[in-house]
């Protein structure tokens, strides 16, 4: 990456995607409620390793086919935009229920590897050079990890707060949080779609 602006751009987009309630975040929330911060910290490491593996694999694939199949890259980005739009719709109707489960390290790891968010990171958030140049790969992944861990910690804390005796839920009004998240995702999806369509014009 050429500047701090690129790091800030990646960080801001990573935050917008990571705040989406999804399979991995749901596991962190559940563990945060059932077992607290200390035990759940290791699950944050599982999430980190899972994303690093998945993003790297997607990036390797994209860098391999990018020169021969430029149109496929654009199609994948359009699918990513549609996926974010779908999540925006889903999050609008999202609600948390009280559920105590024991969450294992391997469960979070494999859930994250299969998480479609990794596809979004590789196709839209990270520059393609992150998968062709070691310097860009290291800086991109470092930025990602620096954002991922604090956001994961927030999800763990949310599990402890939102599930604490019903009264807290009423004060924090989590539904408003999800409505706001849905609107942010809608804007993000439109931006992704617009950028991808611009790419179509240059084919």
Residue 114 confidence (pLDDT): 79
Residue 162 confidence (pLDDT): 62
How far apart CA 66 and CA 132 sit, in angstroms, is 11
Residue 36 in tokens: 């607290």
How far apart CA 192 and CA 13 sit, in angstroms, is 11
Predicted confidence (pLDDT) at residue 98 exceeds the cutoff of 60: no
Mean predicted confidence (pLDDT) in 131-157: 92
- Mean pLDDT taken over the chain: 78
* pLDDT band per the 50, 70, 90 thresholds, residue 67: low
10-24 burial code (b ≥16 CB/10 A, e <16): beebbebbbbbbbeb
pLDDT in tens, 13-47: 899 888 877 778 877 877 777 677 777 888 999 99
* pLDDT band per the 50, 70, 90 thresholds, residue 143: very high
How many alpha carbons fall within 13 Å on the CB side of residue 121? 36
DSSP 123: I
pLDDT in tens, 73-97: 777 777 777 876 776 777 676 555 5
Q: Which residue has the higher pLDDT, 144 or 175?
A: 144
Mean predicted confidence (pLDDT) in 92-121: 74
């Amino acid at each position: 990456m050429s500047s701090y602006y690129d790091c800030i751009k990646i960080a801001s987009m990573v935050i917008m995607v990571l705040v989406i309630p999804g399979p991995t975040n749901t596991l962190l929330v559940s563990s945060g409620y059932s077992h607290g911060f200390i035990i759940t910290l290791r699950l944050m490491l599982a999430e980190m390793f899972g994303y690093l593996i998945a993003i790297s694999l997607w990036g390797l694939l994209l860098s391999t086919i990018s020169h021969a199949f430029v149109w496929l890259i654009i199609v994948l980005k359009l699918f990513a935009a549609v996926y974010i739009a779908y999540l925006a719709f889903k999050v609008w109707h999202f609600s948390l229920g009280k559920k105590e489960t024991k969450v294992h390290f391997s469960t979070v790891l494999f859930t994250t590897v299969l998480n479609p968010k990794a596809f979004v990171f590789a196709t839209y958030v990270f520059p393609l050079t992150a998968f062709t140049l070691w310097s860009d790969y290291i800086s991109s992944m470092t930025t990602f990890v620096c954002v991922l861990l604090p956001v994961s910690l927030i999800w763990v804390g949310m599990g402890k707060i939102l599930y604490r005796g019903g009264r807290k839920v009423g004060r924090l009004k989590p539904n408003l949080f999800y409505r706001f998240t849905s609107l942010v995702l809608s804007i993000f999806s439109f931006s992704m779609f617009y950028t991808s369509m611009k790419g179509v014009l240059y084919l």
